[in-house]
Structure 1
Amino acid sequence: MKREETNNRPPKENDVVPGKEALSVKEVLRNLKEILNLRTNKELSDVLGVRANTISTWKKRNSLDYSRLVAMGKHHKLDLNKLFSNNVFEPDMERDIIAVPRELQYQYVSKRQDRKFLNNLPRYRFPFSSAENARAFQTTDLSSSMTFKGISYVVAEPLEDTEIFASGKTYVVVNREQGIFIGRIEKDKKNKSHVHVITNNHTIIPGKVSMMHREIIELWEVTSMIYQDFVEG
């Protein structure tokens, strides 16, 4: 995967710079309907390849399958900046996120506090607002249920307490002994000092990784997912 130095990269016309005027899910979907000249949610769901009630669920939760919209937008050659934000492109506004590719994740575990190492990691801009200290981690684990089979990234926000996690949410778990894993977390019913990370990685049998709680040195809550194709855009 090609690395990019943010400070030396000339801005592109279709770069999306999230900021205070990032649109809500309802506004993004309204923009999409206008751009594609669609009138109903049924027409929109047909274009996106989802059920009609999925559109309603996205609006209710203010949560969106951005990777699906990005793929569709690239297919139709849409202006993603117009679709996802009211912002006008501002080349001096830096909101790039550090991205940790798979080949550097082993090094990340031991060098996560090394400023020189972090500064040399690639940085990318994403079509949604995110926390200032958010970070992206490359993964293939979450794409097994999607038609897209390539490499993708999850964008995650750091949690101060590595012992507090919610059922059903997805996390990036940085383990000092075993490396980085992405998935849901379950407590061990017999041993309170152990947890299990449930992944979709079919190379891991039986689909979960057991570890001691004290081995977790960083915990990130996943907020979004994006295709590698767009990340390198």
Structure 2
Amino acid sequence: MNNIERVAHITSSKIYLLCQTSTRDKKSPITGNKWSAGALTYFEEKRIERKLGKCLDLGGYSRPSSWGTFLEMVVFNHLGLEYKIESKDTTEHPDEEFKNIWSGSRDLIVPGVKIGEIKCYQLKKFAQYTDALTIPITKTFTMAHKIQNLKDNFSDEYWQMVSNAILNEVNIAEAISFCPYESELEGIRELAENYDGDDQWQFKWIAMEKAENLALLKDGGHYQNLNMFEFEVPKEDIEFLTERVRLAKKEIII
């Protein structure tokens, strides 16, 4: 995973580390600013990457992650033609201040309108995340409450969307959760069997795996296979995250 646009960069997938705060925060040995232990470890890794000129994260493989990655392609078939899937493309921040320091890869984009992030989790987390995305908005549970609930309980996912919205210069984000129905498995197996991309070795197992070993939903059950929540990213969160990256830059470029 040595994409030059990610080497020593703060990336959208890890940017939540910059937003964590607690009474156990520690002072940075570089600036004296307080950060979570996770953020300080992250900054150290980024400083090392700058010296090496390559990413420390070489990528990992597991069947659950492989299943989730493959399903992102399946989700695209459920969406309208206005969406473009670009999960392998990395976007850098457009402003000179953040060049070579802040980048990210969105799963989907409607150019000039919104970004989308697809999560294809195993069953428990799929249920938890989907519950957060599908809470109905009422007079007592407003859009602001729903966004705050997502921020509080799924900060990784939330700040990833905020970051990618900033990087792509849009103010709308769409959170998407997906888990296929049992009835979709035959079609998914066929797609996996016929997939001929460079990373095909990651997905061939899907064509032969038993259904009971895969994250699948019962048809006609409580959950829908595809769930979407679109929201306008709060201006204060854009400003907050931008300032956090501005402070983090001082920890990395020394």
> As a proportion of its length, which structure holds more helix?
2
TM-score (norm 1): 0.26
TM-score (norm 2): 0.25
> As a proportion of its length, which structure holds more strand?
1
Higher relative contact order (CA closer than 8 Å, sequence separation 6+):
2
